[in-house]
Structure 1
Amino acid sequence: MQLAGCAVNPATGRNNFVMMSEQQELDLGRRYNQQILKQNPRYADEKLQAYVQQVGERVARSSHRNQLAYRFTVVDSPDINAFALPGGYIYIHRGLLAYLNSEAELAAVLGHEIAHVTARHSVQQQSQSTAWGVLGQAVAIGTGVGAAADVTNVLGSAFVRGYGRDMELEADGLGAQYLARSGYDPQAMIEVVRVLKNQEVFSRDQAARRGEAQPAGGYHGLFDTHPDNDRRLQQVLGPAQALATGQQEVNREAFLRHLEGLPFGDSAETGVRRGQRFYHASLNFTLAFPEGWGLLNRPDALIGHTADQQAFIAMTLEDNPQKLTPAELLRQRVGSQRLMATVELQQAGLKGYSAVIPGNAAKRVAVIQHGAGAYLFVAAVRGRAALASQDEQFLSVIKSFRPMTRAEYQQAQPLRLHRVKARSGQTIEALAKGSKLPGDALATLRLLNNLYPDGEPKPGDWLKVVR
């Protein structure tokens, strides 16, 4: 068996140095797929899932590796992202779906990810498949404390992150060719890059207004200029434009119909944030985070962090089959580590237990019993700062955990996308008035409708609104 050496790339025809055979690539994809599905819950709308699978298969049939069995999955996450695993497992987050405006744009995203598979980009960059994340060093929080020890695992891998500009450009060019061959307008690839570039500009503008550090580029955040002015992007898309027959499909209305009712931002299944408070209806709990803190909501953990990401508190749901008391469960989880400053908690009818694990990287830990399970909190400060600098904040989060009131169940319902037809003289500003969208509602609605930064709709246009 050939384990390493030169192999002809099926998409480009070039020789690439690779470390695995195609069978090993397929096995790797299957293995990673199991992990990804645990960390990225499937969105529970089978009609939408079937639609995305149908569009993806149509594009994949026109690809260089059309013999693979491609699987397309919509992930229940507000993140603006899509990614591919080796062997044809492709994921698109519903957060990205919300900002697309046609079936051709959906096909462009899927075509781009298909191209990563056909060009074997993940195989070429296998060495980059290490854990990553904006909160990557949060693993230090949970060392030796049960499931929280693996808190970085919820943040994904290099497959989710991207491949560098050359490979991303190659995927754009190949994906646009697959679009044209499958009957979609290859110009949709430019439209998608424009949508993503506008997201990047918006994020940086908002960060500057808040006086925060400039965020790193998100999905496909690789272009210094807008796509119409990017010479290399225009060059790689040239061959696809030549394949267009003039009968290429866009299918805007059909696509928008499939988005009707799509949760925007958080979903009820994963929990909803309202200001600094978090609500989870099916698990019947709420808790609050200090003003200015960020929140990362993943299936395995809920992670709150200071704006500078120097302090974290991670919460995980633990099984308690032995029905241990909070103190017993916490001691079981920390093993041989010493506990200091122990305190029993009583809050809103719930029992809990909290303590400090002393040492150079001291941690605040707690367990609160609720229902059949128990919630484990692990908090720490990075660097040389003392735990005491944030311990009051950590305790405030732990002590805010309680069951929801009946009135709060409405707060736990997500915002949803709906379609409206623009009337004569109607402006985005008018639609933004009274909007429940958090933050800059006007800019968000423009982003959703590809009208950023200052576009206005034409009468009769279908628009996405959030309510």
Structure 2
Amino acid sequence: MRLPTIALLILLAAGVTGCATNPATGKSNFVMMSEQQELELGRSASQEIAKQYPRYADEKLQTYVQRVGERVAQYSHRSNLDYRFTVIDSPDINAFALPGGYIYIHRGLLAYLGSEAELAAVLGHEVGHVTARHSVQQQSQSMAWNVFGQMVAIGTGVGAAGDLTNVLGTAMVRGYGRDMELEADGLGAQYLARSGYDPQAMIEVVKVLKSQEDFARDQAAKRGQAVSTSSYHGVFDTHPDNERRLQQVVGPARALAAGQQEVNREVFLQHLEGLPFGDSEATGVRRGQRFYHAGLGFTLSFPQGWTQTNRPDVLLGQSADQHAFVAMTLDRAERTPEEFLRARLGGQRLAMPEALNQAGLQGYTGVIPGRPAKRVAVIFKDKNAFLFVAAVKNGASLESEDERFLQTIKSFRPLKTEERKLAQPIRLHLVRAKAGQSLADLAKGSPLPGDAEATLRLLNHLYPTGEPQPGDWLKVLR
């Protein structure tokens, strides 16, 4: 056994880290990054985010979110930072922060919030991550464990030791999740109270997220499927229960509140009028098995039973068992479709080549042999090249799905004039509840796929069985 050597290496590894006083908590934290490096890292990362995630094109809403965020951030422990709050054009229920004050909230999360105070709670939570330098701490811990792993590998002569310590380091970093999330909630609640918002909104946001979890589980049970949820910040894995939050976060924060604690429900809801629900026109709209994109002027369909994932960088169709997939990406058209495709293959052999000519569009397709074999194709439209890659996972043969792959590729065609309305998203609108009116009434004729009534309850904080009171503002979809 070589425990003395490993112990020495631990001390040496600790020597490459540094201690710094946390500006938000006053505690001493291991960090390997100066504040200037933190700011540079955030600036660089924000440029990459801008490339990958489209900014939601509603400057009135962007200005409103920036104003609410600044109101909270000015009462934070690092009010000197230049905070930038951005709404991302994505239906995901998420928000996140980069080092240095770059904070993002997805359009999809906004739709489920019920007041300006709840928006401030989400933004305050993210400001808390920034002020406590959580991302810096995590990166520093990861860096330290990587250095330690390399040193152990050298000192023991066993290369696997490096892998082992990397795993341990990752586990330790993830282990801080509960503490960091609760700490961010505590800081966010303080900032809420100091800026004049009701810190109870932090609890209301947790209720929204918990209802999302219940809704996903209930809908999966109706379909006879298991559910694997991925919640905002892994909230149900890392966050304590609501009662503990109420005691540890909101209670102390209320003591900081001065005067009236604002909620501003109606002001917030008015800013949501017309907000796309689910897909937006700019990113393309999924309707059943077909996908429509107004800006690029095309449509295509996926096989029955397949799911679609619409991301900024790729449109992905997957079979129900997730063993087969077709991915479509966008590039700039150059030369002929055949020359374009062969250039992208970089010299790989293309079997079964075939020219495509569909609805007046030129393309080319073929199969890349191998394990697994892949069906590839490109279709030119206007100045764009739509590149397809299709494959089967888990060792199955390409032939088992290739006919469906080709059907999907060959379904690609220009959008017809009468289909333009299908490329428009479902939008959120506000109505006043009338006496005797139920959410079941409002769900009739809804364009929503699936359980429209349950979705409306979720949007209006009435899940699973609540009903509105006459005069309440309600979110509806049409």
- Which of 339, 360, 373 aligns to 2:371? It is 360
- Give 1:115 deviation, angstroms: 0.5
Aligned residue number for residue 229 of structure 2 = 216
Deviation at 1:312, TM superposition (A): 2.1
Deviation at 1:361, TM superposition (A): 2.4
Q: 2:53 aligns with which of 40, 44, 47?
A: 40
The whole-number CA distance in structure 2 between the counterparts of 1:397 and 1:162 is 43
Q: Which moved more, 1:281-290 or 1:307-316?
A: 307-316
1:312 corresponds to 2:315: no
The whole-number CA distance in structure 1 between the counterparts of 2:376 and 2:353 is 10
Q: Structure 1 403/108 Cα, relative in aligned 2: closer, same or farther at 3 Å?
A: same
Query: Which one-letter code corresponds to 1:341 in the other structure?
Result: M
Q: Displacement, 1:371?
A: 1.0
* 1:387 paired residue among 381, 388, 398: 398
Q: Is 1:190 paired with 2:203?
A: yes
Map 1:35-434 → 2, pairs under 5 A: 35-126=48-139, 164-223=177-236, 229-232=242-245, 234-245=247-258, 247-320=260-333, 322=334, 324-434=335-445
Offset at 1:216? Answer: 2.6
User: Deviations along 1:88-110, whole A, 9 cap, x unmatched?
Assistant: 00000111001101000000000
Residue 95 of structure 2 aligns with an amino acid whose one-letter code is A
The residue type paired with residue 112 of structure 1 is H
Partner deviation per Cα, 1:233-260 (whole Å, 9 max, x = no partner) = 6323332122234510000010011111
Pair 1:456-2:467 in alignment? yes
Structure 2 equivalent of residue 30 of structure 1: 43
Contact 2:30/2:140 (8 A) holds in 1: no
* Corresponding residue for residue 153 of structure 1: none
Q: Tell me, what secondary structure is at the counterpart of 1:268? A: coil
Output the amino acid matched with 1:451: L
SS at match of 1:223: helix
The answer on whether the counterparts of 1:196 and 1:220 sit within 8 Å (CA) in structure 2 is: no
Tell me which structure has the larger Cα radius of gyration: 2
What amino acid does structure 2 have at the position aligned with 1:275?
G
Partners of 2:178 and 2:239 within 8 A in 1: no
Structure-2 separation of matches of 1:224 and 1:355: 45
Q: Cα deviation per residue 1:313-336 (whole Å; 9 max; x = unaligned)?
A: 11111112x4x2111110010011
Contact 2:182/2:240 (8 A) holds in 1: no
User: 1:123 & 1:427 partners in 2: Cα distance?
Assistant: 49
Residues 11 and 119 of structure 1 are in contact (CA less than 8 Å); yes or no, is this contact kept in structure 2? yes
Mark the runs of 5 or more structure 2 residues left unpaired by the alignment.
Answer: 1-14, 144-173
C-alpha spacing 1:225/1:367, structure 2 compared with 1 (3 Å):
closer
Give deviations 1:378-426, integer Å, cap 9, x for gaps: 1122232222232222212101100111111010011111111111111
Matched residues in 2 for 1:191 and 1:254: separation? 17
The answer to whether the 8 Å contact 1:194/1:227 transfers is: no
- Work out the CA distance in 1 between the residues paired with 2:353 and 2:92: 38
Q: Is the 8 A contact 2:194 2:258 kept in 1?
A: no
More helix per residue? 2
Alpha-carbon displacement from aligned partner over 1:197-229 (angstroms, at most 9, x marks no partner): 101111122122223331233103433799875
The alpha-carbon deviation at position 40 of structure 1 amounts to 0.8
Which amino acid letter does the alignment assign opposite residue 420 of structure 1?
V
Runs of 4+ off more than 4 Å: 127-130, 224-229
- Runs (5+) with no aligned partner, structure 1: 131-160
Q: Distance in 1 between matches of 2:450 and 2:409?
A: 26
* Equivalent pair of 1:162/1:219 in contact (CA under 8 Å): no
Report the Cα distance in structure 1 between the residues aligned to 2:300 and 2:415, rounded to whole angstroms: 9
Distance in 2 (alpha carbons) for counterparts of 1:10 and 1:273: 45
What TM-score results when the alignment is normalised by the length of structure 1? 0.89
Contact 1:228 1:234 in 2 (8 A): no
How far, CA to CA, are the matches of 2:442 and 2:372 in structure 1? 50
Is the partner of 2:24 in helix, strand or coil? coil
| 2:450 equivalent among 435, 439, 454 | 439
Q: How much identity, in percent, do the aligned residues show?
A: 73
- What one-letter code is carried by the residue in structure 1 that aligns with 2:420? Y
State how many pairs are aligned: 434
Q: Deviations over 1:339-389 (max 9, x none)?
A: 111111121111111111111122110011111121110112223222223
Contact 1:286 1:402 in 2 (8 A): yes
The one-letter code of the counterpart of 1:352 is: G
Query: What amino acid is aligned across from residue 205 of structure 1 in structure 2?
Result: D
Normalising by structure 2, we get a TM-score of 0.87
Please give the secondary structure, in 1, of the residue aligned with 2:261. Answer: coil
In structure 2, the CA distance between the partners of 1:229 and 1:54, relative to structure 1 (3 Å rule), is: closer
Aligned amino acid, residue 130 of structure 2: V
